[in-house]
Amino acid sequence: MSSSCKQVDLRGQICPSTLLIALREVNSRKELLRTGEGCLVFLSDNRSSVTHISDAVINMGYRVEVNKEEGHYRVAICGS
C-alpha cells in the first residue's frame, strides 16, 4: 500500500457530480499518483458513475481496480 492513500465516499451521488469530484481529486493528487507515492479510492453505489470514473481515469493513463463490495463499489486509482 502506498504511503498516501485518500478515500472519497461518493455513495448516494450520481453522475455528473461523481465524475467531476473524482476528476478534481485525481488532478489535485496527480504528482503522488504518477510517482506511485499515493492512491485514491472512491466508494460509489452507482454503477454508471463507476464506469464513467474508470473510463476517464484510464484515458488519463492511470491504473484502475474496481471491486464490488457489500452495497457499493470500490474504485482504486494508482499511477501508471
CATH class of 4-78: alpha beta
Q: What pLDDT, on a 0 to 100 scale, did the predictor assign at position 3?
A: 59
Residue 79 pLDDT level (bands cut at 50, 70, 90) = confident
Predicted structure pTM score: 0.91
Burial tier of 35 (Cβ tally within 10 Å: 0-12, 13-18, 19+): exposed
Q: Where are the domains of the chain?
A: 4-78
Read off the pLDDT of residues 4-13 as tens digits, 9 standing for 90 and up.
899 999 999 9
The dihedrals phi and psi of 9, each to the nearest 5 degrees, come to -95, 110
Give the integer Cα–Cα distance in Å for 56 and 48. 12
